């Protein structure tokens, strides 16, 4: 957990004033208070969900307290029913980056009522979140998004991709080594514990910790999950009996009893061996013709484990969007590869960063020595011109600057782009395995 409690960060006065001028109140909501029920009903309605039952509201309250989360509601003062017309929640959490972790201002619950849309409520809430995060000294904000067109305007860029994987289990076969981890069924409650046990070691760059309710959802024992009894689970243990992987799944009959689909709900593997053991269990399951899994690493070893790589279809897409708020602190929080690591003092480059909201706008000289960056404001001519959304997208090395330059979204000489890409490149693709 981070040392910063987002609940202690004051509500942004600029957004409060801007919304007040439109007759809208902008205030914090206490997760333990009476207003929380309507806050959560508004969130559920905003995400097109059903009217939540009391037990679901209680579970949501527990989640907010556990994270611990700052909640903000926007209220139409002309409608005194106490029901918010805008919602947003945020908490500070460690995010894994190369060489360590960085504090992330994680944002969730962004909804605006259908009756109040396109009046600037979301903009006020988002900008308010970014100003609050910056004021609290948190160098990066991030979220998972419903639509790819909403957040670029605030400086967020897609930094972590995931893959939707579909395996033709009849065709796939197995051509790799025999995994040594033992895979065993466990009751769903035990699965919740196993996911917690395995999680930390399985974090990749871009990963953040889940919370109890999310693990209960993975295991099918959370009040928000329908037909949770259909969720099954297995745990992979190493020779010493330690849990090294866990997987929950549903078996769905597709009209032919011999051709079930095994839908992986969540798969967490702390070792390559556990990953192989769990996938082998899934694709060699009797009466299963197809295995599907969402939110998988884009560089997973699966196609290299099976006999027929054409049996594995992978569809990659954006998942976690990041927004750097402090260039020196964000870049200095991670380590770097490439030539910079072996040279005494190797300037990776001078970046001219464009930030329409002003947080990071300026020219920054990045020096990398022995894999560590130092970043200073600079008057030098830039090697690279880049928007803050693009820098945020490239921060974990999930997309090369070269690709962004090819798309006309970054400019710079080939040698500068190559040098910076070599430094940013991670050993493995960043990954984040759930929605938040
Ligand atoms: C997305 C949502 C929060 C936007 O709320 P809103 O108050 O209508 O947005 P605003 O009026 O503040 O619009 C701000 C800007 O975003 C744009 N925008 C808003 N919703 C958009 C959408 N769905 N797609 C693309 N652009 C959008 C607006 O055109 C406006 O652009 P501009 O300021 O650059 O001119 C709202 O439509 C909603 O609740 N959607 C359903 C839930 C959801 O998907 N939430 C996002 C969770 S990640």
DSSP code of residue 190: H
Reading the block at residue 394, the tokens are 């490239």
Residue 384, φ and ψ in degrees, nearest 5? -140, 135
In terms of domains, do 191 and 270 share one? yes
User: Does 110 contact ligand 1 (Cβ within 6 A)?
Assistant: yes
Q: What is the pLDDT of residue 200?
A: 82
pLDDT single digits (tens) 373-418: 999 999 999 999 999 999 999 999 999 999 999 999 999 999 999 9
In terms of domains, do 142 and 199 share one? no
Classify residue 304 by burial, with Cβ atoms within 10 Å: 0-12, 13-18, 19+: exposed
In terms of domains, do 178 and 215 share one? yes
Average pLDDT over residues 137-151: 98
- Distance between Cα 121 and ligand 1 center (Å): 8
In a domain, 1, yes or no: no
pLDDT single digits (tens) 27-61: 999 999 999 999 999 999 999 999 999 999 999 99
The protein residue whose alpha carbon is closest to atom 36 in ligand 1 is: 112
In a domain, 236, yes or no: yes
pLDDT band at 346 (very low <50, low <70, confident <90, very high): low
Look-up: residue for tokens 């967020």? 156
pLDDT single digits (tens) 276-335: 999 999 999 999 999 999 999 999 999 999 999 999 999 999 999 999 999 999 999 999
Q: What is the pLDDT of residue 121?
A: 98
- Closest approach atom of ligand 1 to CA 119: 11
Concatenated DSSP letters of 108-159:
EEEEE-GGG-SSSHHHHHHHHHHHHHHHTT--EEEEE-S-TTSSGGGT-EEE
In terms of domains, do 65 and 176 share one? no
In terms of domains, do 350 and 307 share one? no
User: Does 46 contact ligand 1 (Cβ within 6 A)?
Assistant: yes
Classify residue 291 by burial, with Cβ atoms within 10 Å: 0-12, 13-18, 19+: buried
Reading the block at residue 275, the tokens are 């990953």
Average pLDDT over residues 205-222: 97
- Distance between Cα 53 and ligand 1 center (Å): 27
In a domain, 430, yes or no: no
What is the C-alpha to C-alpha distance for residues 432 and 206, in angstroms, rounded to an integer?
Answer: 6
pLDDT band at 217 (very low <50, low <70, confident <90, very high): very high
Percent of the chain with pLDDT over 90: 94
In a domain, 433, yes or no: no
- Closest approach atom of ligand 1 to CA 117: 8
In terms of domains, do 133 and 213 share one? no
In a domain, 91, yes or no: yes
In terms of domains, do 131 and 169 share one? no
User: Does 128 contact ligand 1 (Cβ within 6 A)?
Assistant: no
What is the C-alpha to C-alpha distance for residues 348 and 395, in angstroms, rounded to an integer?
Answer: 14
What is the C-alpha to C-alpha distance for residues 325 and 383, in angstroms, rounded to an integer?
Answer: 21
CATH of the domain at 241: 3.40.630.30
What is the C-alpha to C-alpha distance for residues 175 and 304, in angstroms, rounded to an integer?
Answer: 8
CATH of the domain at 352: 3.30.1050.10
Half-sphere exposure of 338 (CA within 13 A, CB side): 23
- Distance between Cα 41 and ligand 1 center (Å): 19
Q: Which residue among 294, 317, 340 closes a domain?
A: 317
In terms of domains, do 178 and 121 share one? no
In a domain, 206, yes or no: yes
In a domain, 434, yes or no: no
Q: Report the domain count for the chain.
A: 3
Q: Which residue among 124, 155, 186 closes a domain?
A: 155
Q: How many other CB atoms are found less than 10 A from the CB of residue 14? A: 11
pLDDT band at 82 (very low <50, low <70, confident <90, very high): confident
In terms of domains, do 350 and 274 share one? no
pLDDT single digits (tens) 99-123: 999 999 999 999 999 999 999 999 9
User: Does 119 contact ligand 1 (Cβ within 6 A)?
Assistant: yes
pLDDT at 343 over 50: no
Classify residue 165 by burial, with Cβ atoms within 10 Å: 0-12, 13-18, 19+: buried
Q: What is the pLDDT of residue 347?
A: 57
Look-up: residue for tokens 């309710």? 213
In a domain, 435, yes or no: no
Q: Which residue among 298, 317, 336 closes a domain?
A: 317
Structural domain span for residue 280: 162-317
User: Does 374 contact ligand 1 (Cβ within 6 A)?
Assistant: no
- Closest approach atom of ligand 1 to CA 123: 12
pLDDT single digits (tens) 177-199: 999 999 999 999 999 999 999 99
Contact between 195 and 215 (Cβ < 8 Å): yes
């Amino acid at each position: 957990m981070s040392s910063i409690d987002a609940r202690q960060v004051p509500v942004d006065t600029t957004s409060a004033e801007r919304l007040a001028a439109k007759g809208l109140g902008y205030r914090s909501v206490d997760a333990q208070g009476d207003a929380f029920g309507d806050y959560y009903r508004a969130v559920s309605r905003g995400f097109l969900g059903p009217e939540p039952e009391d037990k679901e509201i209680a579970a949501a309250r527990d989640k907010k307290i556990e994270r611990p989360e700052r909640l903000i509601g926007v209220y139409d003062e002309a409608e005194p029913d106490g029901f918010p017309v805008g919602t947003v929640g945020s908490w500070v959490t460690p995010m894994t980056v190369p060489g360590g972790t960085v504090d992330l201002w994680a944002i969730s619950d962004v909804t605006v009522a259908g009756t109040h849309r396109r009046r600037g409520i979301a903009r006020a809430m988002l900008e308010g979140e970014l100003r609050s995060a910056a004021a609290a000294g948190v160098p990066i904000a991030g979220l998972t998004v419903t639509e790819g067109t909403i957040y670029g305007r605030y400086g967020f860029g897609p930094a972590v991709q995931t893959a939707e994987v579909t395996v033709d289990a009849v065709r796939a076969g197995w051509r790799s080594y025999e995994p040594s981890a033992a895979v065993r069924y466990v009751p769903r409650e035990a699965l919740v514990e196993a996911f917690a046990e395995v999680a930390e070691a399985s974090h990749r760059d871009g990963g953040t910790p889940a919370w109890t309710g999310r693990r209960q959802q993975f295991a099918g024992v959370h009040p928000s999950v329908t037909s949770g009894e259909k969720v099954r689970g297995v745990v992979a243990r190493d020779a010493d009996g330690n849990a090294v992987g866990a997987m929950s799944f549903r078996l769905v009959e597709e009209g032919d009893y011999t051709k079930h689909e095994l839908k992986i709900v969540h798969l967490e593997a702390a070792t390559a061996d556990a990953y192989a053991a769990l996938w082998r269990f899934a694709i060699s399951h009797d009466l299963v013709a197809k295995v599907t899994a969402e939110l998988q690493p884009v560089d997973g070893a699966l196609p290299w484990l099976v006999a027929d790589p054409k049996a594995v279809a992978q569809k990659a897409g954006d998942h976690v969007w990041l927004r750097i708020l402090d260039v020196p602190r964000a870049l200095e929080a991670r380590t770097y590869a490439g030539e910079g690591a072996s040279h005494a003092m190797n300037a990776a480059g001078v970046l001219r960063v464009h930030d329409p909201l002003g947080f990071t706008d300026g020219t920054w000289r990045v020096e990398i020595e022995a894999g560590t960056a130092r970043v200073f404001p600079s008057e030098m001519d830039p090697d690279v011109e880049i928007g803050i959304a693009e820098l945020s997208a490239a921060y974990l090395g999930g997309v090369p600057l070269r690709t962004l330059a090819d798309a006309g979204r970054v400019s710079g000489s080939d040698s500068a782009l190559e040098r910076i890409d070599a430094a940013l490149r991670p050993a493995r693709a960043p990954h984040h395995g759930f929605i938040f």
